[in-house]
Structure 1
Amino acid sequence: MINCRMMVPGSENRRRIWIYLCSPVERMNPFDTVDHADHSGFGNTGPLRERRAYDPIVQAMSGLMAVTGFAGQPPVRTGAAIADTATPMIAVIGILSALMRRQSTGRGDWVDVSMLDALSFLMPEVIEYYQGGAIDPPLANRHPGGAPFNCFHATDGYVYVATVTDIDWNNLLRAMDREDLIDDPRYAHLPDRHDHVDEVEAVVENWIKGRPRDGVVDVLQSHQVACGPVLSMDEALASEQLRARDMLIPLETPEGKAVPGIMGLGIPIRFADDPVQFDVPAPQLGQHNHDVYGALLGVDDAEIARLKDAGVI
């Protein structure tokens, strides 16, 4: 069995409910057959353990917002809720590790994952800071590992172009019919291109700005240059690639009826032998109360009804 909870340590009212409902399981076997997983903003230890947190709060306090956006502009958060997404993924890794440990030792464990820890773990800037003692200002759409490595404006949209190696750069020059720059010592190697990044990007920008987005992508792809169109959400969801990978699937109601005109996201994992798919629709609110509180935790029907009447469940 795995018990998972997401709450602020010290949220005593909710914690009392948790202890009341789960203490029968914990009394039976605190760790012998049960794995526990806590997912919170700042974890179960440390001076911030009782603080409330939301994704943007953790982005701000992790330093992520300080390296996101444009230099000289106010900090911005990422468009995606990266802390809300990455933290449960890391929690799953911890839970699976605890399950493996339980298989080999017979003992469960307590997995404690915080949103702040998760974002700190994902930031290479932490290592860069301790290597060099400083962090570069926000690079916007640029990247320290390549040049040119940026988003460029076409006639009807934007194209992201990424070159890392000297071969990438030479391929890009050939795609733009600028072979005259291949032997230019100012741009010969990546450190040189970083030193002259504004000039390098101007060459690319001048070539792209008079061309349609998809035409630019076709030419660059034909020359083995890593690039991609900046898609609207409508365009992204119409992607043949997503559909080919079953990443867009029809939704069903809890009664098993199709929801017309609405698609859901599939599972981004593929196995060679066994298909991975959702085999049951999303449950209704409270649909599994009796299964969890009754069968698993031993709460009788009368007590479940009392908890429901009191608004606890």
Structure 2
Amino acid sequence: MTATENRSPAAGPGHPGSLEGLRVLDLSRVLAGPFCAMILADLGAEVIKVESPDGDDSRHFGPWYNGESAYYRLFNRSKYGVTMDLKDDGGRGRLLELARRSDVLIENFRPGVMDRLGLSAEHLMAENPRLVIVSITGFGQDGPLQKAPAYDLIAQAMSGLMSITGLRGGDPTRVGISIGDVIPGLYGAIAALAAINERHHTGRGQHIDVAMLDSLVSVLESVGMRALHGGRPVACGNDHAMSTPFSTYATGRGSIAIAIAGDRLFPRLTAALDRPEWLADERFSEQTRRNGFPGEFRAALEGALQSYTAEEAIELLSAHHVPVSKVHTVNEALESEHAAHRGAVATESDGFRTLASPLRLKGSVAPSPAPTLGQHNGMVDRWLSGPVRTGR
């Protein structure tokens, strides 16, 4: 193997990657699919990123590191990279040969595109009945919205998520990351691993249909339950509709986050701030009652906090084991002592700093640089000379 074909190192001495031997074809672009495949690569799968000769659009997204997209590098780390023109008979033929020798194929084309390319799920599974295909789309492989274009913002808007995000009475607000892509990417990786395990029993793969909208609706948790059982959830800013105090609160200088759910922790707060009268106040003594007087309790709590700076309040409440925090910037979160201890930021072999995987298995793999466009084209013939997959 040449220097430009080098793979990521094993996670630790004597520990092969958890998914070693699993071959994944990543035909996807930008975020949801590449993120799904990245998770599998982080766990040691052999992931082959298949791009058009023009490359993944995200290669043109900033910020930049030594002339390369840091965005692309994050979601395509630890992968091999090859280029194929799937509109060309030769390119499709080589892709089919790779599919015969692979375990998982991930794609996020709009429904119908793979069919038009002659690479439908039915055709791929006829060529390799043990292949697991993960298709991630905006609205799924069927239904009235099947062909509609989808982006994270559209999925967030349609899921109801934006309607319960933002200030009370304010405009609907997008969550600050592309969660409409990230959640289906997570679901896709989970589904792929479940299907591989199922294949051990059935001997066959399957086509997995993951939709951005379905995925976001599924994580609406408490607000979804309230909507299904007679409620009409609305945005309430940093407050929690069912827990008080559970929000950000102003001190004499700066704001802090305090999170108390239920009644077990509430006496700690009253003791820390020397407010025993709150336990006797029928408006505040129990969680269900505090929820009925959120404005009144906020006024009482912020009044008690006015004699402290944010730092002093955090020190005081922490000493009483009250869940509390400063509202950190992203830079502060990534540069904190705890983040350093936990290894939240990883450094690749060329000095590129990236977000580390939170998965800490013995078989997790340290990240290696994402491939340059077509970097591993010379390895395709080697892969194609290997045996057709008969499963793991």
Instruction: Give CA-to-partner distance per residue, 1:40-80, whole Å, 9 cap, x none.
Output: 10010101011111101000001111111123211111112
SS across alignment from 1:186: coil
Letter in 2 for 1:40: T
Q: Following TM superposition, by how much is the alpha carbon of 1:210 offset from its aligned partner in structure 2, in angstroms?
A: 4.0
**Contact 2:138/2:213 (8 A) holds in 1:** yes
1:19 is displaced (CA, Å) by 1.9
Quote the Cα distance in structure 1 between the aligned partners of 2:122 and 2:368: 30
Q: Which moved more, 1:53-62 or 1:153-162?
A: 153-162
The answer as to 2:360 corresponding to 1:270 is yes
CA distance in 1, matches of 2:382, 2:126: 16
Match of 1:84 among 181, 186, 190: 181
| Secondary structure of 1:146's aligned partner | coil
Is 1:28 the counterpart of 2:101? The answer is no
**C-alpha separation between the residues in 2 aligned to 1:200 and 1:9?**
51
Asked whether the equivalents of residues 158 and 230 of structure 1 are also in contact (C-alpha less than 8 Å), the reply is yes
TM-superposed deviation, 1:207: 2.5
Q: 1:108 to 1:143 in 2, by over 3 A?
A: same
**Equivalent of 1:127, from 225, 229, 233?**
225
- Shift of the 282–148 alpha-carbon distance from structure 1 to 2, 3 Å rule, reads same
Alignment RMSD (CA, Å): 2.4
Task: Select the residue among 309, 316, 328 that pairs with 1:212.
Answer: 309
Q: 1:74 maps to what in 2?
A: 171
The offset of 1:246, in angstroms, is: 1.2
Contact 2:125/2:205 (<8 A) preserved: no
User: Structure 1's 117 and 182: CA in aligned 2 closer, same or farther, altered over 3 A?
Assistant: same
Match of 1:19 in 2: 119
Equivalent of 1:283 in 371, 374, 383: 371
> 1: distance between equivalents of 2:269 and 2:192?
45
CA contact (8 A) 1:157 1:230 kept: no
1:225-284 CA-to-partner distances (Å, cap 9, x unmatched) read 1111100122111111111111111134xxxx324xxx211110123xx26342532211
Query: CA 1:201 to 1:292, structure 2 compared with 1: closer, same or farther past 3 Å?
Result: farther
> Which of 97, 100, 105 lines up with 1:3 in the alignment?
105
1:158-173 to 2 correspondences below 5 Å: 158-173=255-270
Query: In the alignment, what sits opposite 1:56?
Result: 153
> TM-score scaled to structure 2, two decimals?
0.67
Alignment of 1:178-217 (within 5 A): 178-217=275-314
Shift of 1:89: 0.1
CA drift at 1:179? 1.6
SS in 2 for 1:97: helix
**Pairing of 1:100-111 with structure 2 (within 5 A):** 100-111=197-208
Cα distance, 1:156 vs structure 2:
4.7
Distance 1:185 1:27, change over 3 A: closer
User: 4+ residue runs of structure 1 moved beyond 6 angstroms?
Assistant: none
Q: Bigger CA drift: 86-95 or 159-168?
A: 159-168
Distance 1:294 1:46 in 2: 41
Structure number having the greater helix percentage? 1
Unaligned runs of 5+ in 1: 299-313
Consecutive unaligned residues of structure 2, counting only runs of 5 or more, are 1-102, 387-392
Residues 157/34 of structure 1: CA separation in 2 closer, same or farther (3 Å cut): same
Structure-2 residue corresponding to 1:241: 338
Q: Is 1:258–2:358 an aligned residue pair?
A: no
Deviations 1:188-207 (A, max 9, x none): 11111111211111121123
Aligned equivalents of 2:289 and 2:275: distance in 1? 17
Q: 1:88 to 1:78 in 2, by over 3 A?
A: same
The corresponding residue for 1:222 is 319
Taking a change above 3 Å as real, the CA distance of residues 128 and 187 of structure 1, as seen in their structure-2 partners, is same
Report the Cα distance in structure 1 between the residues aligned to 2:219 and 2:328, rounded to whole angstroms. Answer: 25
Cα deviation, residue 28, structure 1:
2.5
Once residues 260 and 359 of structure 2 are traced to their aligned partners in structure 1, the CA distance between those partners, rounded to angstroms, is 28
Q: Bigger relative contact order, structure 1 or 2, given CA contacts below 8 A and separation 6+?
A: 2
Tell me the equivalent position of 2:98.
Answer: none
CA pair 248-196 structure 1, distance change in 2 beyond 3 A: same
Contact 1:59 1:65 in 2 (8 A): yes
- Percent identity of paired positions between Structure 1 and Structure 2: 30
